[in-house]
Structure 1
Amino acid sequence: MSSPTPLDTLIELAREARDKAGQMLANERRNQAQLATQLQTLNRYRLEYAGRLQQLLHTGIDPATLHNYQQFLGSLDASIARAHQAVNQQHQRVTAGQQHWQQQQQRLSSYTTLTRRRADEHERRAQRNERRQSDEMTTNAQARRTGQGFTEQGS
């Protein structure tokens, strides 16, 4: 096996960068899923709590308990707003991660295409040389046959 060329080294580095970008993207997607789950949980909890407050309002509630429920619902709303913001920011990180991975993949593809083109060119040259040698052997063989014919006729 021949020693690695600088292009082989570039391909290996590009492959490692692409794989690392893929791992980072997978982590960002996992984080996005976790944040979305947390947001759903907060929304569900808020709905349940608001439902309890509605029931208490129908059956009767003292002002202190009403105030506590309203305060808690306010803090839940603030938490939901922060969770929405976190989900949106994470979505942006996932999008950036996807773009980064695609760039790394394109870079790797460019290098492998270049390698393939070089190998194809090398193969074409080898075939051309082989045809040239074959043509020379055929020409030499014909020349020998033709030369033998002249010596036999000249004798």
Structure 2
Amino acid sequence: MSSKLPLDMLIDLAQNQTDDAARRLGALQSAHLSAQQKLDLLLQYRQDYHDQLDTLMRGGLPSSQWRNYRNFLGTLDGAIEQQRAIATQTENRLDRGRTDWQQEKRRLSSFDTLAERVRMQALMVEAKREQRDSDERAARKFFDRASHPTL
């Protein structure tokens, strides 16, 4: 029993670490999804604003208003690039989190495999002991009958 206890503790610890890694992975997935949605929103907003500028230019647009549109599009492009960088960072973190979770999962699986081997070994030892006990009882009965033929 004492040899099994440390393995059970390792399995519990590995399970907790796997669960923690899964929670972190979930948070990283949410952060990446949010960053990507913000980027998509900015890109759509830029496209809408660009389309609006094209429509206005076809009808004639004063140069001051054109400059304002161009300046705003430039500012929007800067925000898009920043959001792209954020989305890339969150994707990299997500990849690392996925790798961490997979490593923890493999570690837990290794401990589970080891525990199963220990259980199987214990069952085999128990089966051998029971077989030996059964053989000894059968041998005693045989010798008892041989030495006391009337019983």
Corresponding residue pairs, total? 149
Larger radius of gyration: 1
Per-residue CA distance 1:1-58 (angstroms, 9 max, x = gap): x787111111111111111110000000001110111011101100111011111111
Q: CA deviation at 1:121?
A: 0.6
The equivalent residue for 1:136 is 136
Letter of the structure 2 residue corresponding to residue 75 of structure 1? T
The equivalent residue for 2:50 is 50
Once the two structures are superposed, the pairs formed by residues 1-155 of structure 1 within 5 Å of their partners are 5-149=5-149
Per-residue CA distance 1:119-151 (angstroms, 9 max, x = gap): 1111110110000010111111111112224xx
Measure the CA separation in 1 of the matches of 2:8 and 2:136: 36
Measure the CA separation in 2 of the matches of 1:9 and 1:134: 35
Q: CA deviation at 1:103?
A: 0.7
Letter of the structure 2 residue corresponding to residue 103 of structure 1? Q
SS state of the match for residue 60, structure 1? coil
Deviating runs (4+, > 6 A) in structure 1?
A: none
Letter of the structure 1 residue corresponding to residue 128 of structure 2? R
Measure the CA separation in 1 of the matches of 2:56 and 2:106: 60
Query: What percent of counterpart residues are identical?
Result: 31
TM-score, scaled to structure 1: 0.91
Measure the CA separation in 2 of the matches of 1:51 and 1:107: 54
Measure the CA separation in 2 of the matches of 1:73 and 1:23: 39
Please say which of residues 95-104 and 139-148 is displaced more in the overlay.
Answer: 139-148
Q: CA deviation at 1:88?
A: 1.4
